[in-house]
Amino acid sequence: MPTVGELAQAFRPITSLAASWDPVGLQFGDRDADVASVAVCHEVTDAVVDRLEAERAGLLVAYHPLLFRPTTTLVAGSSPAGRAFRLIRAGVALLVVHTGWDVHPGGTADRLAAAAGLSEVTPFGMQSGPDGHKVVTFVPHEHEAGLIAAIAAAGAGMIGDYSGCSFSSEGTGAFTAPDDAHPFIGTAGERTQVAEHRVEMVVPPGRAESVIRALLAAHPYEEPAYDLIAIEGPARFIGRVGRTSTSVGALAADLAEVLAFDGVRVAGNLAREVSTVAVVPGSGADFIGAAGAVGAEVLVTGDVGHHRAQEALAAGLSVVDVGHIPGERPGLAALVEETRSRVGLSVLDCSDLDPNPWEAT
């Protein structure tokens, strides 16, 4: 049976892609606890907690974060902290994917583009991921593979679904060891030159210490040289833009049917013929400028306020507001299948407990 920690690691190729502000990953739980089954939900509502108290699962994979803001109390109730308490009491750990799943191939953005019937789809809408580090060290060629394997095992070199990612270049190292040293190469007290490889690997947040400890343990040198360089989180793209042939009104009507939501709103001329459509799942008003910059004629997203809609119209961009939750529904269906493929366990699908607060009249 896998543990909570092992399953959290299995989702790291997704959670590592999240925006820098997003509290994704394991929000609470015992990393050493065994997991017999997993549940998936859109948002941790009271209804979701009720079901998990009745049908226990060791891990809940949620699209939306439950604890978005710091909390000082955990008391049972209907607040986010109260629901967290109830899940902890029931022995359920919580893993959040959110913007990591938005940008992941086949995730929320891609599924919304498919729901809009787009072809020739490409990404747009840059967002920065969590800041991390890059480790750089220098090692003789014959010891390079072993060193890379050691620091990769400590967490370095993870880029999306790819592990052990590294870059090496050749050069010449030079040093003079003190008279009382025991250099791995060369003679104490003499100037030594040696052919070395410069090895570079990214280090995700929270892994710097374990990576450096592994580097020092695996490196053959008595005093290995290394740099730990702070880097900004890699940029990912939360939106998609693609081609179609339709009108703004027809696009809105099709999305209302596909997303099962009668409250779709449109800013712009319904009869306008469009061929390039941008989509951003969730709340995408901040990407109005980016959508226009990639040639979109209409933006499909949710949570667009009055002033942002006017901004879009002034820029020649129509808006189809499909609502926050409805625009994420196709991605949630994909998350259920992704979870099944990653965990290899029984999966309780809670996607029927839809958290959309809005109803059409």
Tell me: pLDDT of 361 over 80: no
Please report which confidence band the pLDDT of residue 235 belongs to, taking 50, 70 and 90 as the band edges. Answer: confident
Give the mean model confidence (pLDDT) for residues 266-291. 98
Classify each residue of 242-252 as buried b or exposed e, where b means 16 or more C-beta atoms within 10 Å of its C-beta: bebebbbbebb
> Is residue 131 very low, low, confident or very high in pLDDT (cuts 50, 70, 90)?
confident
Q: What pLDDT is stored for residue 272 in this prediction?
A: 98
Report pLDDT for 36. Answer: 97
pLDDT digits (tens, 9 = 90+) for 145-194: 999 999 999 999 988 778 999 999 999 999 998 998 889 998 999 999 99
Domains in the chain, ordered, with CATH? 4-102+329-349 (3.40.1390.30), 116-128+236-322 (3.40.1390.30), 132-231 (3.30.70.120)
Indicate the pTM of the whole model. 0.85
Whole-number pLDDT of residue 205: 85
Tell me the Cα Rg of the chain.
25
Q: Is the pLDDT of residue 315 over 80?
A: yes
Q: With beta carbons less than 8 A apart as the criterion, state whether 247 and 267 touch.
A: no
- Of 159-173, 272-286, 299-313, 338-352, the one with minimum mean pLDDT is 159-173
Mean pLDDT of 184-207: 93
Decide: residue 70, CB within 10 A, 0-12 exposed, 13-18 middle, 19+ buried.
exposed
Mean pLDDT estimate for the chain: 95
Kindly state the percentage of the chain with pLDDT values over 90: 87
Q: What is the pLDDT of residue 357?
A: 93
What is the bridge-based pairing of β-strands 37-41 and 59-62? parallel
SS (H, E, C) the chain: CCEHHHHHHHCHHHHCCCCCCCCCEEEECCCCCECCEEEEECCCCHHHHHHHHHCCCCEEEECCCCCCCCCCCCCCCCCHHHHHHHHHHCCCEEEECHHHHHHCCCCHHHHHHHHCCCEEEEEEEEEECCCEEEEEEEECHHHHHHHHHHHHHCCCCCECCECCCCEEEEEEEEEECCCCCCCCCCCCCCEEEEEEEEEEEEECCCCHHHHHHHHHHHCCCCCCCEEEEEECCCEEEEEEEEEEEEEHHHHHHHHHHHCCCCCCEEECCCCCEEEEEEEEEEECHHHHHHHHHCCCCEEEEECCCHHHHHHHHHCCCEEEECCHHHHHHHHHHHHHHHHHHHHCCEEEECCCCCCCCCCCC
The predicted structure's pLDDT at residue 233: 78
* Structure-token match 């449109």, residue found: 266
Taking alpha carbons only, the member of 63, 59, 6 closest to residue 36 is: 59
Region 242-253 average pLDDT:
98
Averaged pLDDT for residues 204-230: 95
